[in-house]
């Protein structure tokens, strides 16, 4: 579980850094590349969160159920 949480935190930190850097892009091509990378980072954060929820569910933690 600690590895999954560490992976989530790394992915989240990468997303936040890309979001910060996004405002520094000047050219349209730069912005396009940045938005693509930002979306990839967002999807990775979502995936890592689902992995953690799946591990919690496998451990018998009921709060991982979808409401």
- Convert the pLDDT of each residue in 5-43 to its tens digit: 999 999 999 999 999 998 888 899 999 999 999 999 999
Q: What predicted TM-score, i.e. pTM, was given to this entire model?
A: 0.74
Contacts of residue 57, defined as CB under 8 A and 6 or more positions apart, other chains included, come to: 64, 65
Of 51, 59, 44, the C-alpha closest to 3 is 51
Q: Tell me: the pLDDT tens digits for 3-15?
A: 889 999 999 999 9
Q: Which residue ranges make up each domain of the chain? A: 2-64
Percentage of the residues of the chain whose pLDDT score is greater than 70 = 81
């Amino acid at each position: 579980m600690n590895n999954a949480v560490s992976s989530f935190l790394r992915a989240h930190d990468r997303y936040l850094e890309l979001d910060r850097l996004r405002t520094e892009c000047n050219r349209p091509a730069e912005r396009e590349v940045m938005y693509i990378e930002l979306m990839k980072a967002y999807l990775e954060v979502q995936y890592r969160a689902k992995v953690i929820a799946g591990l919690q569910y496998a451990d018998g933690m009921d709060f991982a159920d979808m409401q």
